[in-house]
Amino acid sequence: MFARTQDAGPSQPQEVKPVSAVTTTPKSKEERKPTLTAARAQPVDPIDFDVDALLFRPAAVDISRWPGGRLPYSVLVGVYVQVAGTRSRLAIVRVLTNFIHLLLARAPLDIPPALYLLSNHLRPAYIPCELGIGSMIINRVIKEVSGLQARDLKRLWSVHGDPGDVAYEAKVQMRTLVEPVPLVVHDVYKRVLKLADIRGSQSGKLKSDAVRKLMVQARGEEVRFLVRTLIGNLRIGAVRLTLLTALARAAALLEIPDSELDVLPIPAKGKKPMDPAREAAEEKCVAAVRLVRRVHVRHPNYGDLVRGLEAGLDGLEERVPLSVGIPISPMLGSITRSIDEVYARLGSLPFTAETKLDGQRLQMHVRRDGPQGEDDGGGRWVEGENGRAWVRLFSRHLEDMTDKYPDICARGLDLLSSVKGERKPFPSWASAPSVEVAALLEAESISSLIVDAEIVAIDKDSGAHRTFQELTNRARKDVRVEDIKVVVEVNAFDLMLVNDVPLLSSPFSLRRHLMRELLPPRPTPADPLLARWTHIEAIDSTDLKSPADLRAFFDKVVERKAEGLMVKLLESGRAPAAAEAEAEAEAEVEAEAEVIDVDVDDDEKDDGGKSRKKPLPATYEPDQRSMGWLKVKKDYLEGLGDSLDLVPVGAWWGNGRKAGWWSPILLAARNPESGALEAVCKCMSGFTDAFYKDLLARYPPDSDPTVCSTQPLGYVETGGLVPERWFLPREVWEIRGADITLSPVYPAAASYIGGERGLSLRFPRFIRIREDKGVEDATSAEEFAEMFRRQMAPAGGVAAAENGAEGGEEEADEVGDDVL
């Protein structure tokens, strides 16, 4: 069987058997297994990679038929098929590991293109690359290539809900007259990349032509995955981390001589035999995974990673280092639903609560001498009285935003010319800095830095914070400072590197102190269009008497229109055991934050009497949604977000996993004056699978046109949106959102707020059915408009006045000192 799983039976050292063409039409769980079909169309057969990784021998694979020794696309596609055909993480990793192992050993040239194609990305995130191809172009090409009518395509679409599946189905039915030249991976990669370069008038046609040629050359399953690659949604159940895991394991296995890999096959059932060789190999793999992940989040570039691996795993981190100019995967916060939960998680460990502003995440790199290591052409030099500096800006998803914020780049230079003055010593309660880190506090000058921050739109004159929506009005490309319409403020909150010294492994207490001392808030620049530089407002747990004080701080920042808080651990420690959490939250300061080095001691066997559980690092953990950062947003908290009672009035067919179900669903509010139901938003989040099944039964697509129809059922205003099916308005659902937005498409409540635009919801999600409500009890347009007005009311209290009155130094000082 092609897709057998390893645990299913004993395996012998292989002879890797080629398999013939495979097909998948993933539907139900049972049907997901790939099946064999007669080989014929495939010039080079896919390879069965689902074998014990320790028994896989790259040397045994026959690659004699690979054209010019290059990896055939059919082999890569065979991997997609095998991976997509199972849900078992272990099986997925196994397949990918063996595949990469083979490439490392036999086809190193093809590793970068194969990895990029597997990863669903064509380049590192920070290198600009937009294909400009979406479902529209794909549809057009499918139509041309298959000769199918729009109607048939639409039907295929609603059945499969995936452009790749549609293309596959459409093309299988074709008979090609001339056998096309088989695709090879490096060529496919190159041609797909080239699509990004096609621009200007006629580009649509040229792109279509290029895509059509690829599609004509693709056979069978190749079509499905080629299209998914073009759309940028591979859907094989393995994208980022799994691939990295496999790469690491493959690199580890490559370093183990075959003679040490004479391991016992895993038996079908029962206990695994004691097998020292197997355990040793597994240990090496696990260590490799840790290392490769660590390196990748500090230097997210597959090309560099693979080059670094050419010399082996040893010393990889030095060869592929964290560098100024290469973004670090940002650290993330985990969702926290109450103030109590904060204390339950952190207990008496020292933390700080930062205002979570509603803007855009920024990772700012500045270096006097230009980028560290190879220059990939990104970033820019800024010049001024203080000489020059090289600056590069990245977004939360590591896209390069240097060109969007020349006003921030200009401030990069100022940051390097920090005034040498008195610097406060590290706080006494913080853990001791290393000699190197301690020295930074005495630095005469700053030559490089990496800072984490939030960009917020501000009022040019008053400096008051503006909404996220206003920030999005900013131009994005080739912005010149003179043209800036949306002035911004940079709110720094972390320092990951300074003077070429990485600080990720220092606790936040130290990183923050260095940030505050070396990069203090600056006065408003002479040019009012330039970005302001300040620190995010925060309050430390040591200044709080009780959870109530934290709650008060939360209420205050929400009053000032912030999203909520980011609570961050200042010193590493151990999470309180669940049982103790409450007691601890109450008894509090009984313990002066015990500091434990998590790196040295991360086993917790001995939680004997004093029960602390998991290690809780206060280090900067790239790419982790760590417990060290807790995100407390107002819309997570019961009763604080905007909650509407809306009527489902229509729906579209779901895609992929949700094919065959209604998703998303169109929701409307009631306008008692006109009698219309006015569309508010689509919703697809918050529904369980069981709910979807139920919903399909309540609104069956083609059996009862009085409840589910191709025609509107009732008076519904949708602003031009046309769902696949209209529902009879009869249910009321509670829908929660983070904010109310002024919408260019939705008509809801437009008549109550001036007519032109209606209202919608940011981050809409389903909470529950309001069984107790009928359509006539749904939220009315007037109520909706009133909620919007309340939201738009000026930020309350003293804060607003402060913010409005002063623009510069004083405010900055105050914020910098944490005074509230």
Partner DNA sequence: TGTGGCTGCCC
Partner DNA sequence: ATTCTGC
Partner DNA sequence: GCAGAATGGGCAGCCACA
Site for DNA in 476-505 (CB under 7 A): 476-477
End-to-end, the C-alpha distance of the chain in Å comes to: 67
Within 10 angstroms of residue 439's Cβ, the number of other Cβ atoms is 12
d(CA 387, CA 417): 9
Tokens 């589910």 sit on residue = 708
Question: Which region, judged by CB under 7 A, interacts with DNA, from 53-61, 131-139, 430-438, 533-541?
Answer: 131-139
762 touching DNA, by CB under 7 A: yes
Q: Show Cβ contacts of residue 35 under 8 Å, excluding neighbours closer than 6 positions.
A: 2, 22, 23, 24
φ/ψ of 535, rounded to 5, equals -110, 155
- Among residues 171, 207, 284, 356, the one annotated as catalytic is 356
Residue 242 binds to DNA (criterion: CB under 7 A): yes
Report if residue 722 touches DNA, rule: CB under 7 A. Answer: no
Smallest distance, DNA to C-beta of residue 476, A: 4
Distance CA 230, CA 226 (A): 6
Residue among 45, 358, 411 nearest 222 (CA): 45
Interface with DNA (CB under 7 A), residue from 157, 629, 687, 733: 687
**How many CA within 13 A on the CB side of residue 326?**
23
Q: Does 808 bind DNA (CB under 7 A)?
A: no
Question: Is the CB of residue 784 less than 8 Å from the CB of residue 759?
Answer: yes
Q: Give the interface segment with DNA, choosing from 234-242, 521-529, 545-553, 779-787 (CB under 7 A).
A: 234-242
The binder of DNA chosen from 9, 528, 672, 744 (CB under 7 A) = 744
The residue among 137 and 538 lying less far from DNA, judged by its C-beta, is 137
**Residue position matching structure tokens 């290059």:** 70
Hey, which residues between 148 and 167 contact DNA (CB under 7 A)?
161-162
Give the integer Cα–Cα distance in Å for 654 and 149: 22
Amino acid at position 817, single letter:
D
Can 356 be counted among the known catalytic residues?
yes
- What amino acid occupies position 146? S
Half-sphere exposure of 575 (CA within 13 A, CB side): 18
For residue 534, how many other CB atoms are within 10 A of its CB?
24
Task: Give 111 or 735: the residue with its C-beta nearer to DNA.
Answer: 735
Query: Is position 259 an interface residue for DNA (rule: CB under 7 A)?
Result: no
Minimum distance between the CB of residue 814 and DNA, rounded to whole angstroms? 26
Q: Lay out the site mask for DNA across 568-607 (x = CB under 7 A, - = otherwise).
A: ----------------------------------------
**Which of these ranges, 213-221, 261-269, 539-547, 681-689, lies near DNA under the rule CB under 7 A?**
681-689
Long-range contacts of 231-234 (CB under 8 A, 24+ apart): 231/133, 231/134, 231/135, 231/138, 231/163, 231/164, 232/120, 232/131, 233/120, 233/656, 234/80, 234/118, 234/120
Instruction: Tell me how far apart the 2 most distant CA atoms of the chain are, in Å.
Output: 82
Dist CA 434 CA 502 (whole Å): 12
> Is 428 a residue that touches DNA (CB under 7 A)?
no
CA distance 217 to 208: 14
Interaction between residue 234 and DNA (CB under 7 A): yes
**523 contacts DNA (rule: CB under 7 A):** no
Bridge partners (DSSP) listed for residue 382? 389
Token reading at 415 = 């940051």
Q: Given the structure tokens 């001791």, which residue do they identify?
A: 432
Looking at the chain, how many residues does it have? Answer: 820
By CB under 7 A, is residue 135 in contact with DNA?
A: yes
Least distance in angstroms from the C-beta of 186 to DNA: 22
Beta carbon of residue 498, minimum distance to DNA (angstroms, whole number)? 23
Is 747 a binding residue for DNA by CB under 7 A? The answer is no
Using the rule CB under 7 A, give the single segment among 98-106, 133-141, 601-609, 702-710 that binds DNA.
133-141
> In whole angstroms, how close is the CB of 199 to DNA at the nearest point?
4
> Is position 238 an interface residue for DNA (rule: CB under 7 A)?
yes
Stretch that binds DNA, among 83-91, 498-506, 580-588, 705-713 (CB under 7 A): 83-91
293 vs 297: CA distance, rounded Å: 6
Residue 791 lies near DNA (rule: CB under 7 A): no
Structure tokens at 198: 């096609």
In the bound state with DNA, the residue whose beta carbon lies nearer, of 44 and 230, is 230
Under rule CB under 7 A, residue 697 binds DNA: no
> Minimum distance from CB of 613 to DNA (Å)?
9
Interaction between residue 554 and DNA (CB under 7 A): no
Q: How many CB atoms lie within 10 A of CB 318?
A: 9
Site for DNA in 604-633 (CB under 7 A): 624-625, 633
Footprint of DNA on residues 180-209 (CB under 7 A)?
A: 199-205
**456 lies in the site for DNA, by CB under 7 A:** no
Amino acid present at 574: R
Q: Is 266 in the site for DNA (CB under 7 A)?
A: no
Q: Which of 36, 60, 174, 335 binds DNA (CB under 7 A)?
A: 335
88 touching DNA, by CB under 7 A: yes
Q: Is 134 in the site for DNA (CB under 7 A)?
A: yes
Residue 50: closest CA among 103, 23, 86, 26 = 86
Q: Is residue 281 close enough to count as binding DNA by CB under 7 A? A: no
Active site residues: 356
